[in-house]
A and B are shown apart, each in its own frame.
Chain A
């Protein structure tokens, strides 16, 4: 029935009732006015008529009232049924919301744990990189030291080469002198021989001279011998000097190779150091990203928590509404099929609690060990909170202000 129609009908019935009451009143007054109170029969008949009329009108009223009530109750009942259905949908919808929020919370929880693992791996990586960089710079310093030492050695080698050249020169000069002495000895020998020849030619007179010549020859021989020995010594010295020279140059060669290798090593070490630096930068960036991710996860957990709490409160409201509806339905006389509200979910909240409660410390010095401990008490508190009727998110999530300080 259309709303307008119903309203019109009610209006009409009220008017009719009012009209009837008015008529009754007028009739009664007229009768009463016109009738004489001593006329008992007339009064009795008047009373009788009035009573009958009243009963009739009351009956009509009652009948109309019941008739209209019935006509109104059915739509009310239908509307209430409709509302009950909608409430059912709302209830199931809020259950879904809760389930989704729970899933989200679980997902956030696993994500947070992954983040923790990642952050601990990053810690290790970062410390190893730092170690690497330290080692590289140490190696670089040592290479520089080695380079300095090699330079020093090179200078010494040069000095030694100069000294050896000096020795060679002296030996050569000595050799020249020895050669001169040798020549002198030879000439003296010849002179002695000539003297002996002359002495022989002189015959008797030259006998003494022959002796002198002989002695001179002996001296010449001794000179030559000494010169020969000295020249042998000089040759040995020259050989030793040559050896020394060769050793010096081969040592220098070896050191040159050393320098080449050292230079290469230096370059490599520099590259390692630079790479380590860049590695450290990269890790710092990753750290920051992970921290951001953690924040986001925290936010998601918090949102999930809020959603869950809102869904819960909605469910509670719906339950209350259903009760009222039930009462109203009984009043109207309609049958409502209302199922009991909600699914049991005290345990589910603990997942969301633990996510929110775990402060994942990313990019810090120590691994966050105490975070795990919060899970158990938070879950218990959550379970207790759930049973209270209006659960506010702030009550449910044990975030204290001092915990926020860490962030």
Chain B
């Protein structure tokens, strides 16, 4: 029973995680975001920087009249910063919050494709030790000999950030 329950749970988890993901590259690594979280993908445009914000908060952009905050995911993940190329894109994601859904733009190195990932290809995150918090990783997807890290974008944007971001907006 327990195993069945566990298996059911597992299946559920798998079912939840199965679906289409938008893959993008960040520092030579491929990541994926569930496509339902993605609102829009745009190329690099002028970012207006806002003072007194954390370094990974690049600023805000004007997207068809709407002001959207932009975060550099590299700096957020603690990766070394890189100059923007013509392939740099801003992925506008929609996150559910207490007071509704808000739009955030994240800067990525390049956008790859929309992948339909089967549940069987998703593995759980391995345990690197207790210190590291890997909640924000949904799982690891295997495709074409490479591993794509599936992000739980809600957890990536934690509460601190949200507070800061709300201030800017």
Q: Chain A: residues with CB nearer than 8 A to chain B?
A: 183, 186-187, 189-190, 193-194, 196-197, 200-201, 213, 217
- Give Cα A187–Cα B35 distance, bound, in whole angstroms: 19
- At the interface, yes or no: B89 with Cβ under 8 Å from chain A? yes
Task: Assess the A186–B87 pair: CB atoms within 8 A.
Answer: yes
Contact status A193-B43, CB under 8 Å: no
With A183-B86, A193-B113 as given contacts, are A200 and B41 in contact (CB-CB < 8 Å)? no
Residues of chain B contacted by A187 (CB below 8 angstroms): 43
Distance from B84 Cβ to chain A, minimum over Cβ atoms (Å): 14
From DSSP, what is the main secondary structure of chain B's interface residues? Answer: strand
- CB atoms of B114 and A200 under 8 A apart: yes
B36 touches A186 (CB 8 A): no
Give the residue of A183, A197, A200, A213 whose beta carbon is less than 8 angstroms from that of B40.
A197
Would you call A197 and B87 a contact (CB within 8 A)?
Answer: no
A201 to B22, alpha carbons, bound, how many Å?
Answer: 13
The CB with the most chain B CB atoms within 10 A, among A183, A194, A217, is that of A194
Q: A190-B42, A200-B36 are in contact. List 6 more A-B contacts (CB 8 A).
A: A186-B43, A187-B43, A193-B22, A196-B20, A197-B39, A200-B20
C-alpha gap A328/B122 in the complex (Å): 174
Q: Which residues of B contact A213 (CB under 8 A)?
A: 114
Q: A186-B43, A187-B43, A200-B20 are in contact. Are A193 and B36 (CB under 8 A)?
A: no
Task: Name the interface size band of chain B.
Answer: 10 to 19
B40 contacts across to A, CB distance below 8 A: 194, 197
- Taking CB atoms, residues of chain A closer than 8 Å to B89 are 190
B86 to A197, Cβ gap below 8 A? no
* Residue B38 interfacial (CB < 8 Å): yes
Nearest CB on A from B103, distance (A): 13
Given contacts A183-B86, A186-B86, A217-B113, whether A197 and B41 have CB atoms under 8 Å apart is: yes
Q: Which of B100-148 contact A (CB under 8 A)?
A: 111, 113-114
Nearest neighbor of A217 in chain B, beta-carbon distance: B113
User: Would A194 and B41 count as touching, CB distance under 8 A?
Assistant: yes
State in angstroms the CA–CA spacing of A186 and B43 once bound together. Answer: 9
The minimal Cβ–Cβ distance linking B92 to chain A, given in whole angstroms, is: 10
Q: Are B111 and A196 in contact (CB under 8 A)?
A: no
Residues of A near B38 (CB, < 8 A) are 197
Minimum Cβ distance to chain A for residue B80 (Å): 25
A193 (CB) vs chain B CBs: closest residue: B41
* Residues of chain A within 8 A of B42, CB atoms compared: 190
Residue pair B35, A196 in contact (C-beta under 8 Å): yes
**Which residue of chain B has the shortest Cβ distance to A203 in the bound complex?**
B36
- Tell me the complex Cα distance, A190–B20, Å: 16
A187 to B39, CA, bound (A): 17
Give A187's nearest chain B residue, CB to CB: B43
Q: Is the CB of A197 within 8 A of B22?
A: yes
Instruction: Give the residue name and chain of the B residue nearest to A196 (CB).
Output: B114
Q: How many angstroms from the CA of A193 to the CA of B89 in the assembled complex?
A: 12
Segment 19-50 of B: residues with Cβ below 8 Å from A = 20, 22, 35-36, 38-43
Alpha-carbon distance A213/B116, docked complex (angstroms) = 14
* Bound form: Cα–Cα A357–B35 in Å: 132
Residues of B within 8 A of A201 (CB): 35-36
| Shortest beta-carbon distance from B146 to chain A in Å | 18
Residue ID in chain B nearest A183 by CB atoms: B86
| A186 to B35 CA separation, bound complex (whole angstroms) | 20
Shortest beta-carbon distance from B15 to chain A in Å:
16
Greatest chain B CB density within 10 A among A183, A200, A201, A213 is at A200
A169 CA / B2 CA spacing, docked (Å): 75
Give every chain A residue within 8 A of B113 (Cβ-Cβ).
193, 217
Complex Cα distance A217/B111, Å? 12
